[in-house]
């Protein structure tokens, strides 16, 4: 019961308190890639904790504990005692339902999101192939449109799209910055990162962690692509390029260079660049790794303790009880 309670409390704290503490923090803008990882880890850790809390409640039920004891070479009684709950079989059933409900909801929403994204991208790609003009030298599809805009349609059949308005507005250096921004999205698979964040936000729309993580990850992915472009073309050139295409529209399934966060990103690019130090990045990465491992350590601790027992609570050798069932 203690294990399940600890895991459940941990999941609730992550889902409610963590997003309030982390939303819009300055260090994430100085290391957007780490920021993306931290938001992803928090989501994965909260989900893992919720599922494991449910499973921990069902461990004392006979079938689960005997199978688990055999697997771990531990005494069934010792194992069941470690995870004992006052609710007995009812609590075990509630736990199993909780774990299955969380897993089922995530699987359903992720599957639905992936199918929808794939369908919308294919439809847009077919339109692009009809009305766009390939520019092999730049590796882009050129669209005849006055509005300066640039975006990439990610995935296996990726397309980078730029309008004639953008080609007229941007000089070579700024155009290279825009293209580097789009290539960064594709190289770092920001589409997959965003699809996962969107799926979790749809699966649990009332949970602040997933709702805020979706917006924060989208913002940080743009900043990360800006940084890659700035490393190639310079921060001021990238800022000027962003300004030129900021108002450009893009389909919902695409990743654009402009968008609603453009003004804040431009301000960030023209300020003196202060990337997060290596030590702080290492500390942040370590904290993320601990957060990811914590639910597994909490749920696995009592099982590990049971495997260390040579005798069952009634004095029978553990191996004997496990094998004599």
In a 13 Å sphere around the CA of 184, the CA atoms on its Cβ side amount to 23
CB of 261 to Zn ion, least distance (A): 9
Task: CB nearer to Zn ion: give 211 or 265.
Answer: 265
- For residues 254 to 293, the per-residue mask of contacts with Zn ion, x marking binding by CB under 5 A and - elsewhere, is -x--------------------------------------
Structure tokens at 26: 């300055």
Smallest separation (angstroms) from Zn ion to the CB of 130: 25
Min. distance of Cβ 171 from Zn ion in angstroms? 20
Q: Which of residues 205-224 bind Zn ion (CB under 5 A)?
A: 222
8 Å CB contact between 238 and 270: no
User: At residue 70, what are phi and psi to the nearest 5 degrees?
Assistant: -65, -40
| 8 Å CB contact between 281 and 34 | yes
Fill in the DSSP letter of residue 153. E
Separation of alpha carbons 48 and 42, rounded Å: 10
Piece in contact with Zn ion (CB under 5 A), picked from 71-79, 82-90, 251-259, 301-309: 251-259
Alpha helices in 23-136 (DSSP H): 26-30, 32-58, 62-72, 76-82, 88-131
**Residues 6 or more apart from 13 whose CB is under 8 A from it?**
none
Residue 117 Cβ, how far from Zn ion at the closest point, in Å?
A: 16
Tell me whether residue 263 or residue 282 sits nearer to Zn ion (CB atom): 263
Task: For residue 225, report the phi and psi dihedrals to the nearest 5 degrees.
Answer: -65, -35
In the region spanning residues 99 to 118, those forming contacts with Zn ion, defined by CB under 5 A, are: none
Task: Pull the structure tokens for residue 113.
Answer: 């999101």
Give the C-alpha separation, 61 to 65, whole Å. 6
Minimum Å gap between C-beta 150 and Zn ion is: 9
Tell me whether residue 30 or residue 185 sits nearer to Zn ion (CB atom): 185
Site string for Zn ion, 150-189 (x = CB under 5 A): ----------------------------------------
Residues 39, 41, 47, 50: is their CA dihedral positive or negative? Answer: negative
Report, in Å, the least distance between residue 247 CB and Zn ion. Answer: 14
At its nearest, how many Å lie between Zn ion and the CB of residue 194?
A: 11
Q: Which one of the spans 30-38, 117-125, 249-257, 299-307 is the region binding Zn ion (CB under 5 A)?
A: 249-257
Looking at 46-54, 225-233, 265-273, 280-288, which segment touches Zn ion (CB under 5 A)? 225-233
Structure tokens at 280: 């702080």
Contact residues for Zn ion, defined by CB under 5 A: 222, 225, 255
């Amino acid at each position: 019961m203690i294990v399940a309670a600890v895991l459940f409390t941990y999941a609730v704290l992550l889902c409610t308190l963590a997003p309030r503490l982390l939303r819009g923090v300055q260090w994430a803008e100085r290391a957007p890639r780490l920021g993306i990882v931290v938001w992803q880890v928090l989501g994965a850790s909260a989900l893992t904790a919720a599922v494991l809390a449910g499973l921990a409640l069902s461990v004392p039920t006979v079938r689960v504990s005997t199978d688990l004891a055999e697997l771990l070479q531990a005494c069934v009684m010792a194992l069941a005692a470690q995870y004992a709950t006052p609710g007995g079989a009812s609590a075990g059933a509630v736990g199993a339902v909780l774990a299955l409900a969380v897993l089922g909801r995530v699987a359903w929403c992720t599957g639905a999101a992936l199918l929808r994204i794939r369908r919308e991208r294919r439809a847009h790609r077919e339109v692009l192939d009809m009305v766009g003009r390939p520019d092999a030298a730049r590796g882009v599809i050129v669209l005849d449109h006055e509005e300066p805009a640039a975006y990439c349609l990610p995935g296996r059949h990726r397309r980078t799209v730029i309008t004639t308005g953008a080609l007229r507005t941007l000089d070579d250096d700024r155009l290279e910055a825009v293209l580097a921004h789009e290539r960064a999205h594709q190289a770092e698979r920001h589409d997959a990162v965003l699809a996962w964040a969107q799926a979790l936000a749809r699966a649990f729309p009332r949970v602040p962690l997933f709702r805020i993580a979706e917006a924060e990850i989208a913002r940080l992915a743009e900043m990360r692509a800006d940084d890659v472009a700035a490393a190639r073309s310079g921060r001021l050139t990238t800022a000027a390029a962003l300004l030129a295409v900021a108002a450009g529209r893009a389909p919902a399934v695409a990743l654009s260079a402009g968008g609603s966060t453009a003004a804040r990103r431009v301000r960030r690019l023209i300020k003196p660049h202060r990337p997060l130090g290596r030590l702080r990045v290492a500390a942040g990465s370590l904290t993320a790794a601990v957060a990811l491992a914590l639910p597994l350590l909490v749920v696995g601790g009592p099982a590990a303790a049971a495997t260390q027992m040579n005798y069952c609570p009634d004095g029978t050798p553990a191996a004997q009880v496990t094998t004599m069932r």
